A and B are shown apart, each in its own frame.
Chain A
Amino acid sequence: MLEGAELYFNVDHGYLEGLVRGCKASLLTQQDYINLVQCETLEDLKIHLQTTDYGNFLANQTNPLTVSKIDTEMRKRLCGEFEYFRNHSLEPLSTFLTYMTCSYMIDNVILLMNGALQKKSVKEILGKCHPLGRFTEMEAVNIAETPSDLFNAILVETPLAPFFQDCMSENALDELNIELLRNKLYKSYLETFYKFCKNHGDVTAEVMCPILEFEADRRAFIITLNSFGTELSKEDRETLYPTFGKLYPEGLRLLAQAEDFDQMKSIVDHYVVYKPLFEAVGGSGGKTLEDVFYEREVQMNVLAFNRQFHYGVFYAYVKLKEQEMRNIVWIAECISQRHRTKINSYIPIL
């Protein structure tokens, strides 16, 4: 990027940035959450959501209302907004937005392959796919038998293609291999995205890099945590870690050797950023590691809005909106299952 990008950022992206900031302002407030938690039935929830920016997005749903209906409608709304951003974006923002969809595409591909493995019908699984990660070739995923097959036949023309370099293999796709494939794809994806943001420079790099670094570290932790007690070897484990972030390279090497949660915790003690997160686990309110990570993510995303003239706001907005949707779904689930004791453990968006 040239110097002084602030001067002409608005020429290309000013409209969209304004729009996304407006959208961010319409996220549910603390007061909204307090009201939502008080709802007795899903109908109440719907009525309250009508008073917020969601409007009557559920108006055309026939009774009875279910959580999954709410979820699909919310996703559709987010997808509509995102499509609007994407259709009105110019380079390099449109590439940035494409990168954002890649993670959802990876998830969808993996979901479809898992479904094919369990002999479920494509239609059924398609319903579960995230609409942000939709692409035409998606439905043909289940004809592939090996990762290279998958690449050659189906994904070669999609934005996912470059991420396949590391995982071309002729192994049959069983459950473990699919999981490995997902992690490798994710690793490659995050690294490419990180490089893109770094090369872009400017405020975008300053905002996005920490967020992506956190994302990479989070993945590393979660891979480590999930690999305890599985047949995954330590060397294999290390290959799955994204090679950047705060933990890279020392922490990752140590993590690869870790054998249980306590060892992980002792490694984390060296990192000022993550130490308080791990300490918060299981503390007041019985938070899980996932919740703590989500909270941290929300914090970082909210901070992204403090800077101007960068693309990070788009990323942050989508992530915040996703978190909000997760919150609403959580609350809705608690209401519909009459399981009110845990209803307050949503992640507040500050």
Chain B
Amino acid sequence: MGSLFRSETMCLAQLFLQSGTAYECLSALGEKGLVQFRDLNQNVSSFQRKFVGEVKRCEELERILVYLVQEINRADISLPEGEASPPAPPLKQVLEMQEQLQKLEVELREVTKNKEKLRKNLLELIEYTHMLRVTKTFVKRNVEFEPTYEEFPSLENDSLLDYSCMQRLGAKLGFVSGLINQGKVEAFEKMLWRACKGYTIVSYAELDESLEDPETGEVIKWYVFLISFWGEQIGHKVKKICDCYHCHVYPYPNTAEERREIQEGLNTRIQDLYTVLHKTEDYLRQVLCKAAESVYSRVIQVKKMKAIYHMLNMCSFDVTNKCLIAEVWCPEADLQDLRRALEEGSRESGATIPSFMNIIPTKETPPTRIRTNKFTEGFQNIVDAYGVGSYREVNPALFTIITFPFLFAVMFGDFGHGFVMFLFALLLVLNENHPRLNQSQEIMRMFFNGRYILLLMGLFSVYTGLIYNDCFSKSVNLFGSKWNVSAMYSSSHTPTEHNKMVLWNDSVVRHNRVLQLDPNIPGVFRGPYPLGIDPIWNLATNRLTFLNSFKMKMSVILGIIHMTFGVILGIFNHLHFKKKFNIYLVSIPELLFILCIFGYLIFMIFYKWLVFSAETSRVAPSILIEFINMFLFPASKTNGLYTGQEHVQRVLLVVTALSVPVLFLGKPLFLLWLHNGRSCFGVNRRGYTLVRKDSEEEVSLLRNQDVEEGNTQMEDGCPEVTCEEFNFGEILMTQVIHSIEYCLGCISNTASYLRLWALSLAHAQLSDVLWAMLLRVGLRVDTTYGALLLLPVIALFVVLTIFILLIMEGLSAFLHAIRLHWVEFQNKFYVGAGTKFVPFSFSLLSSKFSKDDSVA
């Protein structure tokens, strides 16, 4: 748990990678994912870096692989996914791999090109046969119907006449026939008409079968057309128009005999083509199958290789150009592993000089690394969504694990609903290794990632539901109610007692619609219910008033405890960052401020609960009035909760009032005093400066050492960070703003915690409404149809419960719980100005790949 309380200590390490072994070392590092690389070549644009050539080669390989995957998918061959991820390929194998892939690509391209050509050929032939078949009917029709074409006799005659005339003049009757895309028929005809001024006859018929478009590969409907025209000129035009509309034009046979011959020829050619095409396809399939075996591991290998070169591009060369220098952030706990990985890499490449590392001191803020497991990850994500914690800051995620589900449950408190949620989460948790859940999308993925949060939320809701005694808006009588109604009857008491008490008799019971149980009568109230709210309240008409008072006080108590805890966590931060003055000048005044006002409020609530009982409830003062009076010092004195209350309150107010100026001015003045060299204490001065000199010398010594080792770029990063300008005005302003925010925030944030009450009330009422409006109606219908009606009513009840009460209400309670954490809790101590530690790790990479792959 210690690792979750604060982010890990980091150190900046310099890796000296011998140029021969750099690749292997990085490969070893990437497998382990230990370090985050810093970009040392920020000013160098991407194409001027050292390893651009290698990156380019990787991209080339990737392109080939994408092409392969595409072809394999198109051929419907399943891609076997390797279980283990193969390591990055050794440099010697890369060339070989590249050659192999390139050869494969060339071969594949050739075969597919051939196949496409054959297919196109085949398609053309098929189209031709279709055209011949269809146009035959055109001509036959013409021949058959020509004599009986009585409607337009003159036209027919004319054309016949024209034809003969033309023939005599040497002009030829020409035919153009072919296929055209269904959508273009109309425009085509219009254009023909306009361009040729009507000197053409177009006849067309729809083809029954749909054929593939050779260009796009779409299967669409086609029309067969036959254009007859006279003269060369128009013929050219017609042909151009055909080209323009991408018609597939085929020569038109003039005689029936010719037609038959062509058709026979076509049939045999189609047969031949089919066999050739089959063979080509078989061969292609073989090639692809072979490729499919290794393609998955190849893709991962290339990805890894590319990642390594990207990292190498971030390194800088040393003066002698013999080794690469990388600067990495590494958690101190992993340094041993880092050394081992470097050794491993060097050993693997068989280099004589091992790569080594060197820790360098730095003033820069390291990235924040918090190790999480699958349980804590979700909670950490909630915190990170607000802001990644500053380096070594107290991490609220640790406390969020409990407080978050708890605050959620306070709002969601229902035994039944909570249990359903718990079961759902449990289902997800138990099946978390199921591949379908791991790869689910969007909303389901959201639930899946938050399964442990859901689990705890469900559990806590069961608990708060038990406390509220709410199960689908009904109370459960687990231990037997501690209220006794029969004790209210006059018969159960001795006559002497009758005079003092208002008891019930038959007429009272019969004539009053609402009766009140009196806890003062002995035997009516037999002590508190063992767990939570007594179930008898479920029957009471003043249940809401009772619960509201309880829930409101509870929200305020929880809120103030939560916030005070936040302020206390701030003390841990100050202790860790060695800013003790902050504790005295910020945290303690803050604590005093909140405790003297709101801590006292809590005290009053508890005091009233403990001291006043049913008998004395009439004389109990209102907390609200008492609390207001605390600030107003009223002239007329009320009873008060206890004796001496006035003095205690005065003292508390004075403390509060005193803590405010300390909060406003304490820290800036102290810092100013520090800056002016503690002018009041001349004695301390010598010692202080001396110490500082020492440490400075040490740092500069270390730096010299680095320079000797050939490190040149240390200088540009460090010195800027060290000197911090002192600006009193700015410090004062920030502190004033912070203080105002805090003081006002105490009040508004406390009020904000009332949302706990509001939402739990809303949830209880909504589920109550659902019960009363739906299930009770269903249950009340008399027995004959009742059974039939109950089924749809229950179904509806279940659906509405799940969608409205579980999902919708759950989401709103979730959001409010998040808000309470982010705004009310975390702003008391959490800065959240860090950067996340992103290790160079292949595991991040390959998961990304599998997603890409599924898309492709």
Contacts and interface: CB of A to CB of B under 8 A. Distances in A.
| A and B assemble together | yes
A47 B63 contact: no
Contacts of B59: 59
Contacts of B184: 136
Contact of B47 (A39, A59, A60, A154): A39
Contact of A152 (B48, B52, B194): B194
Interface string A113-142: 000000000100000000000001111101
Contacts of B240: 139-140, 142-143
Nearest to B184: A136
A48 B52 CA distance: 11
Interface residues of A, number: 24
A156 interface: yes
B243 interface: yes
Interface in A193-242: none
Interface string A37-68: 01100011001101100000001100000000
A165 interface: no
Nearest to A61: B63
Nearest to A34: B45
Contact of B46 (A51, A122, A138, A139): A51
Given A43-B56, A140-B241, A140-B244, A38 B45 contact: yes
Given A139-B244, A142-B240, A143-B237, A47 B191 contact: no
A153 interface: yes
Given A59-B63, A60-B63, A140 B47 contact: no
Contacts of A10: none
B243 A122 contact: yes
Interface string B191-204: 10011000000000
B719 to A, nearest CB: 27
Contacts of A30: none
B57 to A, nearest CB: 11
B63 A140 contact: no
B182 to A, nearest CB: 14
A136 B45 contact: no
A35 interface: yes
Nearest to A156: B194
Contacts of A60: 63
B399 interface: no
Nearest to B59: A59
B607 interface: no
A48 B46 CA distance: 7
B803 interface: no
Nearest to B239: A143
B187 interface: yes
B245 interface: yes
Interface in A79-101: none
The interface residues of chain A, by DSSP majority, are classed as helix
Nearest to A48: B47
A308 B45 CA distance: 36
Contacts of A44: 47, 52
Interface string B156-195: 0000000000000000000000000000100100110011
Contacts of A143: 195, 236-237, 240-241
Contact of A47 (B47, B194, B195): B47
Contact of B243 (A50, A137, A139, A156): A139
Interface string B30-60: 0000000000000001111000100010010
Given A59-B63, A143-B195, A48 B45 contact: yes
Nearest to B190: A157
The interface residues of chain B, by DSSP majority, are classed as helix
A116 to B, nearest CB: 10
A94 to B, nearest CB: 20
A136 B244 contact: yes
Instruction: Give the interface size class of chain B.
Output: 20 to 34
A47 B241 contact: no
A47 B237 contact: no
A142 B236 CA distance: 11
A24 to B, nearest CB: 24
A60 B190 CA distance: 40
A44 B241 CA distance: 44
Contacts of A152: 194
Nearest to B48: A38
Nearest to B55: A47
B47 A153 contact: no
Contacts of A39: 47
Contacts of A137: 187, 191, 244
A44 B604 CA distance: 75
B184 to A, nearest CB: 7
Given A38-B48, A143-B237, A153 B194 contact: yes
Interface string B554-579: 00000000000000000000000000
Nearest to B45: A35
A36 to B, nearest CB: 9
Interface string A163-202: 0000000000000000000000000000000000000000
A47 B60 CA distance: 12
A288 to B, nearest CB: 30
A136 B191 CA distance: 11
A157 B46 CA distance: 50
A58 to B, nearest CB: 10
A136 B183 CA distance: 12
Most buried by A among B46, B48, B237, B244: B244
A284 B245 CA distance: 51
A143 B243 CA distance: 11
A172 B59 CA distance: 54
Interface in B50-84: 52, 56, 59, 63
B191 A154 contact: yes
B195 A154 contact: yes
A51 B44 CA distance: 13
Contacts of A50: 46
A159 to B, nearest CB: 15
A17 to B, nearest CB: 28
A153 B190 CA distance: 9
Nearest to A41: B47
A136 B187 contact: yes
Contacts of B47: 35, 39, 43-44, 47-48
B832 to A, nearest CB: 29
Nearest to B245: A136
Contacts of B56: 43, 47
A73 B243 CA distance: 25
A48 B237 CA distance: 48
Given A43-B56, A60-B63, A122-B243, A140 B46 contact: no
A140 B195 contact: yes
A153 B46 contact: no
Contacts of A47: 46-47, 52, 56
Contacts of B241: 140, 143
Given A35-B45, A48-B46, A60-B63, A153 B187 contact: no
Given A39-B47, A50-B46, A140-B240, 6 more contacts: A35-B47, A48-B46, A48-B47, A59-B59, A60-B63, A136-B245
12 contacts: A39-B47, A43-B47, A43-B56, A47-B56, A48-B47, A59-B59, A139-B243, A140-B191, A143-B236, A143-B240, A154-B194, A154-B195
Interface of A: 35, 38-39, 43-44, 47-48, 50-51, 59-60, 122, 136-140, 142-143, 152-154, 156-157
| The 9 nearest A-B residue pairs measured at CB | A139-B244, A140-B244, A153-B195, A44-B47, A47-B47, A35-B45, A153-B194, A143-B240, A143-B237
